[in-house]
Amino acid sequence: MRTKWLILLLTVCFCSYAQQENKSQMALTSAFGATNHKDFCYQFEISYHYMGHPFLGIGGGIGFCGILSDHLPAGYSENGIWTSWCLNKEYKYINQLYLRPSLIFRSPALTQIKGKYGLHFQAEPGIQLLIPYSSVKIDYIDDEAYINSERISSNKGNWCFWNIKSGIFIKNDDFSFGLGYIISNLDVYSNRRTMKIANSSFSEFYPKSKLVHNAFIYFGVSF
C-alpha cells in the first residue's frame, strides 16, 4: 500500500514540474580540444531534448566533427608504372557528420542569480554515431611528375562511440548558457586505418586515439 502511495506522489510531482516548465529545449554546442596525441579537434552540434521533468530529458543532436593533424600517408612502389603515392592534400584533415542520441540529467538550482537565473550542474551522456564509410583520393607520382589519381574507400572501421558532456549552466524559463567539458572515445581515424595502398597500410600513419577531450560552450532556448 505504501508503495502505491509513493508511486502516486512521485507521479504527481513529476506532472506538476512538467506543467511549470517549458518541455522542449533546442541548443547549439561548440567544442574544441585535443586527442591523446595532441591533435586539435572540434565539433559543432545542434540538439533537441524533450524535458519531461525539469531534471531529466531525452533527445539527441546532429553535428559535425573534425580533426586537424599533420598525418599524411605516403609511400613508394616499384611496379614500373609509378614510383610513389601520396594522400591528396585536400583529404589531410578529417571531417565527419554524426548523430548523437543522449539523455540530460540536471541538478536543482545550486544557487539563484538576481532571483531570475538558476545555476545548475548538468550531465549529458550519449552515443556518437558516425557515418560508417570514408573515402579519400590518392595521387600517384612517377619521380616528380604527377601521373594519375584514384579514390579508395572503407567501411570497416568503428563508427559507434560513447560521449559524456557535463558542465555548469545558467538558465531561466526561456534561455540557458553553459560551459563545460566533453570526454569521449571518438576515433575519427578508425576507417582510414583500414585502408591500404600497394603494400602499405594507413594504420602506419594514423595513431589510435584513446580519448578525446573538449571544452564546450552551450546556448539553449526552451519553449
Q: Which of 5-9, 66-70, 170-174, 196-200 has the lowest mean pLDDT?
A: 5-9
What is the per-residue pLDDT across 81-110, written as a single tens digit (0 to 9) for each?
788 899 999 999 999 999 999 999 999 999
What is the per-residue pLDDT across 108-147, written as a single tens digit (0 to 9) for each?
999 998 878 999 999 999 999 999 999 999 998 887 677 7
What is the per-residue pLDDT across 38-74, written as a single tens digit (0 to 9) for each?
889 999 999 999 999 889 999 999 999 999 888 889 9
Residue 38: the pLDDT is: 81
Residue 40: the pLDDT is: 92
Query: How much is the mean pLDDT over the chain?
Result: 88
Residue 185: the pLDDT is: 94
Residue 204 phi/psi, 5-degree rounding, is -70, -25
Residue 27: the pLDDT is: 97
Global confidence as pTM = 0.83
DSSP label of 137: E
Q: Is 60 exceeded by the pLDDT of residue 9?
A: no
What whole-number percentage of the chain has pLDDT above 70?
90
Contacts of 80 (CB under 8 A, 6+ apart): none
Nine-digit cell at 57?
A: 530529458
Q: Is 70 exceeded by the pLDDT of residue 16?
A: no
Q: For residue 30, which of 47, 44, 13 has the smallest C-alpha distance?
A: 44
Whether 64 contacts 95, CB under 8 Å: yes
CB count within 10 Å of CB 75 equals 17
CB count within 10 Å of CB 2 equals 6
Nine-digit cell at 147?
A: 601521373
Residue 70: the pLDDT is: 83
Residue 18: the pLDDT is: 45
Of residues 161 and 3, which shows the higher confidence score? 161
Q: Is 60 exceeded by the pLDDT of residue 1?
A: no
- The residue count for the chain: 223
Specify burial of residue 88 (Cβ count, 10 A radius: 0-12, 13-18, 19+).
middle
